[in-house]
Chains A and B, each alone.
Chain A
Amino acid sequence: MTPSPKQLTVIKAAVFVLALVPLARLVWLTLTGALVEPLQFITRSTGDWTLYFLCIALAVTPLRRLAKWNWVLKLRRMLGLYAFFYALLHFMTFLWFDHFFDVAEMLKDVGKRPFILVGFIAFVLLIPLAITSTNAMVRRLGGKRWLWLHRLVYLVAPLGVLHFWWMKAAKHDLAEPMLFVVIVALLLGMRVWWARQKQANPTAQGRGQTRRV
């Protein structure tokens, strides 16, 4: 199944709008006063959606390989940027609602508490990926270097999950973080497996195309 360029435009537009639904819901619930404590809800849901989008973006390559849907690659940049967008909102929630833009206080908090530090590192690592997401930047860096840089996401996703795990850890309520561990382990594990296969049998892989991991 390969959509025509026109269909692809429609799909892209649909994904773009759908990805904004969580934000719209958040704004709606906050403005209507439906939430007793919006701060907590906003913090949680922006964090959740960062992880969802990271997982979805990481699922593009496996989906492409397993279902042979090469076209999904065209959605990956947008999905990755949405992960960054929700991470940015999550970070802003922390900086604004929690610390009221007191950067010194925020850094103190980041340094003191490992779970915040881990989340902060994951966020910082996403920044270069977002900055180099344009076509011009891909050209400037050269495909190979760009690819290597964007493998940072393999670090960001586990750090994000660790951040979530740690936040939940003391409450013995690990069902949700456990689910993310399984999904991310699966998504990254598949890549490791494919890389090993390629090492063992370099000619059998790739089906003549330049493969991206």
Chain B
Amino acid sequence: MLIKRSPNGIDLPFPSEITPRAVFENRRAFIRQMAAGSIAGGALLEMLSREAFAQGVNPKLAARRNAALSAQDKPTAYHDATHYNNFYEFGTDKSDPAENAGTLRPRPWTVSIEGEVKKPLTLDLDALLKLAPLEERVYRLRCVEGWSMVIPWVGYSLSELIKRVEPTGNAKYVEFISLADRKQMPGVASRVLDWPYTEGLRLDEANHPLTLLTLGMYGEVLPNQNGAPVRVVVPWKYGFKSAKSIVKIRFTRDMPRTSWNRSAPSEYGFYSNVNPEVDHPRWSQATERRIGEDSFLSRKRKTLMFNGYDVASLYTGLDLKKNF
């Protein structure tokens, strides 16, 4: 199943060669086949053919792997990473985004960068793809709900974009605003959150090399349900901090009010750093289950401070229990 491609005659290490998609999927299909036997054969075939269709939809993205910023953990199966998502614009069930995100039109797409910057910009997707060399980075993703994944993202440090717009001295925070289009996103009709989905980072967090402006995953452009066509990924924070399908990036003086913080301030703080010592009010954050890897019958794995990322220096002098 390994097909080497070398565009322009250059032998790039393709992201998909790390653990090829086919291997992820074959493993799942094999398990399914083992468990289901021949009775479920029809359903299995249908599932696999749908998968094949989905593969054709997402064009490849060539990116060089940034080994220094990549986790050594085994990537989560592509199917799991694309079929177990929180993306409330498409529904509140984990399976809703994969089912409903087909209506999202990720092209044409523009992102406007505005606020406290000297050079406000509006970029379309092609401009974003060309802004800096694409890198692949394997990051751990920890959801506030107590599960985790490992995903090979494709993008570049958000700082690449930030330096082009030249933030003014007043810029202390960066606000990310997602698309909220009722026509494309059935979940926006619900009152679960105030739309549009809004997230934010402190400027130094946004400038941290790990903060990734993300345009793809698993060597392909982002599937709709994972936040196509452009999202941010902040690996040391809970997943909801990483806004999806971004249309606006605003630099501000004041701390932006984020969607989850507005909805339930006692449960979701502005920082939302992965922190095993600060419980969510309704559950402990000390442990997590790695999707597709940890058997649900076994003990959950321990959650690491900042999800295992070395970012403590960003928070010296800050009480992380108060500023959760």
Residues of chain A at the chain B interface (Cβ within 8 Å) = 31-34, 36-40, 42, 96-98, 100, 109, 112-113, 115-116, 166-167, 170-173
Contacts and interface: CB of A to CB of B under 8 A. Distances in A.
Interface string B236-274: 000000000000000000000000000110010000000
Interface of B: 28, 31-32, 35-36, 40, 79-80, 83-84, 92, 94, 145, 147, 190-193, 263-264, 267, 279, 281-284, 289, 291-292, 296-300
Given A37-B84, A39-B289, A113 B283 contact: yes
Contacts of B92: 171, 173
A112 B280 CA distance: 11
B97 to A, nearest CB: 12
Nearest to A40: B94
Nearest to A112: B279
B292 A171 contact: no
Contacts of A32: 32, 35-36, 40
Nearest to B32: A33
A177 to B, nearest CB: 13
A31 B192 contact: no
Contacts of A39: 289, 296
Contacts of A167: 282
Contacts, number: 63
Contact of A33 (B35, B190, B191, B279): B35
Given A40-B94, A113-B283, A172 B267 contact: no
B298 A100 contact: yes
B40 A36 contact: no
A36 B291 contact: yes
B72 to A, nearest CB: 23
B122 to A, nearest CB: 33
A170 B267 contact: yes
B94 A100 contact: no
Contacts of B192: 171-173
10 contacts: A33-B35, A36-B84, A36-B292, A37-B289, A37-B291, A100-B298, A100-B299, A109-B284, A113-B281, A171-B92
A96 to B, nearest CB: 7
A29 B117 CA distance: 52
A110 to B, nearest CB: 12
A170 B279 contact: no
Contact of B263 (A109, A166, A172): A172
Given A33-B28, A40-B94, A171-B192, A115 B296 contact: no
B300 A98 contact: yes
Contacts of A36: 79-80, 83-84, 94, 291-292
A22 to B, nearest CB: 18
Nearest to A100: B299
